[in-house]
Structures are given as structure tokens and as C-alpha cells.
């Protein structure tokens, strides 16, 4: 890190056990547009955020591709989306105390913007962008391997709904899934829809729900359970 001028994020670098060659990149990563509006000479982090978003998506894709060798493209896409989403990135930023080092304008700071998930997610992406420019993709990968990838939870049941799982299972066997509405009678407040699910013309499940979609999901879950038995 350039020691010619002390920067406010030095304690963070010590906590992360990291150095930066260009300290100005790191300061920019933590500078919100509201701060720049009050200090025009200080560039904000939106361009770094743009770059970091792409770098992060690539790094996460590589990690999941190597880790989940049996997962199809659609599954990998959903898992990646869950872990580069605003809620996930804001959680990572908070875990690393990035909120403490944000440079915000007075109004944004007083209104509680420091804790807003969208801003925390943005600063995380900006940090990744700055690290990429400063030290390259390998160092980004090393940072994520230490601070992010251990917290990537791959719960396929939570990430993928029953209908999607059943469809992917059938397609892997060259088969097809079909849903048939059996009845839709009764009060709206009750489970009035009854649906049957067929896999290759064989009925594999029947369920009721307050909506057709809910009934289909339940029928698909029953079909998946029968497949596992």
C-alpha cells in the first residue's frame, strides 16, 4: 500500500491482512456518490461497482463450476444468482465491517444510508473492482476464497422449486412432465384446485392447493418423493 498518505481504511486492511498498491483505488471504492457531491475532487465508486459486478460474477461462476461438477447450467445459474444478489453481498459487506469505512454525504449519513443493503452491496462490488484493477483476478479469487466462498451454501431444495427439480430430472432421462387440472371447485379460501402430475404419461402425484400453481408444486414434490423411494 502507498504509505505516502494515510487513508481512512488502513484499519480494514490490517483486519483483512491485505495491502493495496494504489491506495486511491481503495478510497474510491468506499466513496459514495453523496460524498462526491459535497467533495467534487473525490471520485465516487460507481464505475468500480460496475467492474466489480462483472468480476465477482465470473469468480463465483468459476468457483461453482469447479465445486458442483454434477449440476446443470440452470442450477448453477440459480445458485450464482442467490450469492451475488443484493442481500448476499450486503451480508458479506457487513460481515467485513465495510459499513464502518463508507464515505457518505452528511444527509445520507444522517438518514441511515450506511446500513442500507443496496449501498452495502454496491461497496462490496466496488471493493472487488478496485482489487481487480490493483492486483488482478488471482488476488480477487484469493480474497473471495477466504472471505466469501466458505459461506456459500448450496441447498438445492431451497434454491430450486419442486416443479423445476422434477422437470430437470425428467429431461435428464429424456422424458417429459405434464400437469392436469382435475377440479377447481370450492370457496377461494380453501384448497379448491386439484392437480395431477404425469411423468411420461404415468401419474406420479396428486395434490390440492389454493391456487393451481400451489397444487402443481405440491404434486411435483410428491412425485419427487416417490422417485426417491
Query: Where in the sequence numbering do the catalytic residues fall?
Result: 53, 125
Residues 6+ apart with CB under 8 A from 212: 181, 184, 193, 195
Nearest to 77 by CA among 91, 60, 90: 60
Helix, strand, coil: what percent of the chain each, to 5? 60, 10, 30
20 — alpha (psi -120 to 50), left (phi > 0) or beta? beta
- Give the single-character DSSP code of 40: T
Q: At residue 178, what are phi and psi to the nearest 5 degrees?
A: -140, 140
Strand locations in 30-133 (E): none
Query: Buried (b) or exposed (e) across 201-224, using 16+ Cβ within 10 A?
Result: eeebbbbbbeeeeebbbbbbbbbb
- Give the single-character DSSP code of 115: G
Amino acid at each position: 500500500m502507498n504509505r505516502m498518505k494515510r487513508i481512512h481504511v488502513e484499519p480494514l486492511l490490517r483486519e483483512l491482512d491485505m495491502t493495496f498498491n494504489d491506495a486511491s483505488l481503495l478510497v474510491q471504492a468506499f466513496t459514495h456518490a453523496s460524498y462526491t457531491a459535497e467533495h467534487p475532487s473525490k471520485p465516487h465508486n460507481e464505475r468500480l461497482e460496475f467492474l466489480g459486478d462483472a468480476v465477482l460474477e465470473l469468480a463465483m461462476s468459476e468457483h461453482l463450476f469447479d465445486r458442483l461438477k454434477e449440476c446443470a447450467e440452470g442450477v448453477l445459474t440459480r445458485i450464482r444468482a442467490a450469492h451475488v444478489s443484493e442481500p448476499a453481498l450486503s451480508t458479506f459487506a457487513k460481515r467485513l465491517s465495510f459499513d464502518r469505512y463508507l464515505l457518505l454525504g452528511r444527509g445520507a449519513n444522517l438518514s441511515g444510508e450506511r446500513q442500507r443493503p443496496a449501498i452495502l452491496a454496491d461497496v462490496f462490488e466496488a471493493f472487488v473492482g478496485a482489487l481487480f484493477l490493483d492486483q488482478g483476478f488471482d488476488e480477487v479469487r484469493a480474497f473471495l476464497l477466504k472471505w466469501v466462498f466458505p459461506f456459500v451454501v448450496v441447498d438445492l431444495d431451497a434454491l430450486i422449486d419442486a416443479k423445476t427439480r422434477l422437470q430437470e430430472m425428467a429431461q435428464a432421462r429424456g422424458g417429459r412432465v405434464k400437469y392436469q387440472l382435475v377440479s377447481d371447485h370450492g370457496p377461494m379460501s380453501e384448497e379448491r384446485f386439484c392437480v395431477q402430475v404425469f411423468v411420461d404419461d404415468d401419474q406420479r402425484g396428486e395434490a390440492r392447493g389454493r391456487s393451481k400453481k400451489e397444487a402443481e408444486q405440491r404434486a411435483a414434490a410428491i412425485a419427487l418423493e416417490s422417485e426417491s423411494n
